[in-house]
Amino acid sequence: MANEILVLGATGKTGKRVAEKLQKKEMVVRAGSRNGNPPFDWDHPENWNTVLDGVQKVYITYYPDFVTPGAMEKIQRFVDTAKKSGTQQLVFLSGRGADEAEEAEGIVIDSGLPWTVVRSSWFMQNFSEFFFLDNILAGYFVVPEHKALEPFVDLDDLADVVVEALIDDKHNGKIYELTGPELLSFNDTTRMISETINRPVVYEEVSMDGYTKILRDYQVPENIIWLMKHLFTEELDGRNESLTQDIEDVIGRKPTTFREYVVKTDQTGVWNIQN
């Protein structure tokens, strides 16, 4: 079927939300995932032509991270393939304040296709849909020592921005930086979660070596350990300690507060210990 929107990472944290919101608007969505039909995998470019056949627009999310070896080459090859296949628009999920992410953005911007870049702050959902969830359930939240604050963003807000970019051409050629409405520490976020679930969650900062050991003790995959070390040493240095109005400008409402995220997430039961 022609004029489909391909959503890469359609089973991931942002992709599943974007796909669901597009479907509610009665848009034709093709799931770009290993379980999709046809399946999509960043490590199997031989199948990309089939995945892109008949696709008009693409929401691009790259996994596992822009800093991983070979990321730029894969993104370049995918963008080239999309252009040759007749794709007419790219919406690209990027990271705020990350050098490698901006390099990846350049590939999309220089593609010759209409594009929109969505730069995101840290996801609020990292506390409920990432391995931070295990910390909350264990009642012990530990991170490496750091000083920076972060404007955590709600993924439902992000998905609404992406959907608007995919369905309205007025967003072409724009770079949006998405932040929540407040700058918070990890201690702040842990405290709010603890207060809402009415259960103690101890917060502690440790050395990077100590943090790495704890993650390995929890059997966290090495690629995630490497990524977290990179994020806390290279990116969480204060460069993103500012707020934007881009979410409100695009979707016409203020971004979700962390407290609002915590309340709605608590209602799902994901932080219940019996889970």
Question: Please, which residues bridge with residue 8 across strands?
Answer: 32
> Taking 50 as the threshold, does the pLDDT of residue 19 lie above it?
yes
Rg (CA), the chain: 19
Match 């369905």 to its residue by tokens: 167
Given pLDDT bands bounded at 50, 70 and 90, which one contains residue 2?
low
Q: Domain map of the chain by residue range?
A: 4-122+153-181+241-255
pLDDT at position 145: 93
Task: Say what the pLDDT of residue 1 is.
Answer: 45
Inform me whether the pLDDT recorded for 234 exceeds 90. no
Task: Please tell me the predicted confidence (pLDDT) of residue 177.
Answer: 98
Higher pLDDT: 40 or 231? It is 40
Q: Which secondary-structure segment (H or E) carries 178? A: strand 174-178
| Confidence check: pLDDT of 225 > 70 | yes
- Does this model's pTM top 0.75? My answer is yes
d(CA 82, CA 87): 5
As given in the structure block, the two tokens for residue 219 are 């059997």
Give the pLDDT mean for 83-110.
96
Residues 139-191 pLDDT 10s: 999 999 998 999 999 999 999 999 999 999 999 999 999 999 999 999 999 99
pLDDT tens per residue across span 108-132:
999 999 999 999 999 999 999 988 9
What is the average pLDDT across 36-56?
96
Q: Which residue has the higher pLDDT, 117 or 99?
A: 117
Is 3.30.565.10 the CATH number for 4-122+153-181+241-255? no
Three-class SS string for the chain? CCCEEEEECCCCCCHHHHHHHHHHCCCCEEEECCCCCCCCCCCCHHHHHHHHCCEEEEEECCCCCCCCCCHHHHHHHHHHHHHHHCCCEEEEEEECCCHHHHHHHHHHHCCCCCEEEEEECCEHHHHCCCCHHHHHHHCEEEEECCCCCECCECHHHHHHHHHHHHHCHHHCCEEEEECCCCCECHHHHHHHHHHHHCCCCEEEEECHHHHHHHHHHCCCCHHHHHHHHHHHHHHCCCCCCCCCCHHHHHHCCCCCCHHHHHHHHHCCCCCCCCC
In the predicted structure, residue 275 carries a pLDDT above the cut 60:
no
> CA dihedral defined by 265, 126, 188, 99, rounded to 10 degrees?
-150
- Per the CB < 8 A criterion, the answer to whether 145 and 62 are in contact is no
Of 19-28, 89-98, 234-243, minimum mean pLDDT range: 234-243
**Backbone φ, ψ for residue 66 (5° rounding):** -65, -25
